[in-house]
Structure 1
Amino acid sequence: SIEGITLPLPKPFLVIATQNPIEFEGTFPLPEAQMDRFFINLTIGYPRQEEEEEVILRQNEAHPINFLKPVLEVEILLQIQSLISKVHIDASLREYIVRIVSSTRNDSNILLGSSPRGSIALYKASQAYAALNGRDYVIPEDIKTMAIPVLRHRIILKSEAKLKKLTPDEIINKILSSIPVPLEVKKEET
């Protein structure tokens, strides 16, 4: 919305942002409320030697973005999104998601835990991960796999945790290991 007027965006709508690994002059961190609106935070790292050489070679012809071509039609992407939203999540796994996210609000190393948007994002990311693995139902491992990329940017560490050189990933792993995984997960008909 701009000045109180909601403007509809085209579907699908996607924003991809990059983040500097450390603070640089002229860049500013986003406020927590804006960080919370990003669905996922992936850490890519540096390319391997041969990959970086390939990047250099590609620059000789022209910028690689000039050679990008669509890999599927918008309508197909929207159908895929619709199918993913139908991937089943057992009630015990919905509860598991909420326990994970709410634990970020009570951890002694975390100043500010994830909002309910984190629960929604973890739910949806787990559905997508299950679908990418050929299933129409979510298993606990899907949730555990997606927890770090979905939650790492949604928590703010206390100064003491930063002094101990703890990372959000380590704290989320600690939370995951402290919460019992539901043992009975049924693949129900939806």
Structure 2
Amino acid sequence: MPSTIGRALGVALVGLTLIGTAACTAAKPAATPVVVSAPPTTTGELPAPPSPVASASSAAPSSTGSAGPKLVPACDAVLRARQTAAEALSPVRAVLTQSGLFHDDLAKATRDLMVVLTALHSAVGSAAELAGDPKLKAKIAAYQLSVEQAIVAVESSDSEQAKLMAVIDSPTMRTAEKTVVTACS
């Protein structure tokens, strides 16, 4: 029972941290975006996301009057959450790709995956609230729903290695994620 309380507190702490980060980044002035392309990976890990850049037509006019792309707070928040989740999923993926795992290893991987997905769910929800454009808000909300479905899949996985990997590689979540990344590019 104490581990359940500790787990709940850990999930809450990670969620609050990501929500605070999303709120703080939304108040910062927009920086000049840097486009970074990720090389294709062969290890099965998630590639680094592109920089959070919005098209000039969807960005609010800048206070300096200069034309060009500007960071949209909702995009910045959701893409930062995505990057944080990708970094946190990397060690979980590394564990789950091993063979002959013990029950304790699978249980820890399950807990770690739940923490990452719960924090991502909270951060994406916060990002959706920052979206002024209804179309962007709907895309971010669809991404949040796909993360929620992934959480349910982890809860019902019984810590089975193949099911946990299937959650990480979920086509539904990847499609929703790609839609948001495209909308924010």
TM-score, structure 2 normalization? 0.27
Q: Which has the higher helix share?
A: 2
Larger Cα-atom Rg: 1
TM-score, structure 1 normalization? 0.27
